[in-house]
């Protein structure tokens, strides 16, 4: 996933929120399901945009950056870490 945490200034939000874009295409929706996340990196600061199109372009760039990072061998090896799967955290 890529996630924005902040006020989303383009939409003039006054409450901080987390907005998630899931990268994997699931065969069915999972609304109402519990989800655990681990934040593994940082791509860029929150920005304001002059248009929705400019926002969409940056989100697509963020997705490309995330996919390329996750394809690196070091990330794949790190994905085997039991901590990321909730083991040993109780």
Q: Distance of CA 3 to CAs 73, 82, 90, Å? A: 22, 22, 25
Check if the beta carbon of residue 65 is closer than 8 Å to that of residue 57.
no
* Residue 47 located in a structural domain: yes
* Residue 54 located in a structural domain: yes
* Residue 90 located in a structural domain: no
- By residue range, what is the domain housing residue 53? 2-85
Report the predicted TM-score, pTM, of the whole model to 2 decimal places: 0.73
* Residue 7 located in a structural domain: yes
Out of 19, 73, 80, 90, pick the active-site residue. Answer: 19
Report how many domains make up the chain. Answer: 1
Q: Is the pLDDT of residue 7 over 70?
A: yes
The pLDDT value recorded for residue 57 is 95
The pLDDT value recorded for residue 88 is 65
The pLDDT value recorded for residue 15 is 94
**Model confidence at 37, in pLDDT bands (50, 70, 90)?**
confident
* Residue 30 located in a structural domain: yes
Q: Is position 46 annotated as part of the catalytic site?
A: no
Phi, psi (degrees; rounded to nearest 5) at 56: -65, -40
* Residue 72 located in a structural domain: yes
């Amino acid at each position: 996933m890529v996630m924005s945490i902040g006020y989303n200034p383009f939409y003039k939000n006054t409450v901080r929120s987390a907005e998630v874009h899931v990268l994997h295409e699931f065969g069915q929706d999972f609304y109402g399901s519990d989800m655990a996340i681990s934040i593994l990196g940082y791509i860029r600061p929150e920005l304001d945009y002059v248009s929705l199109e400019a926002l969409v372009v940056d989100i697509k760039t963020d997705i490309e950056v995330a996919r390329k990072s996750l394809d690196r061998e070091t990330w794949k090896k790190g994905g085997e870490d039991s901590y990321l799967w909730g083991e040993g955290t109780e």
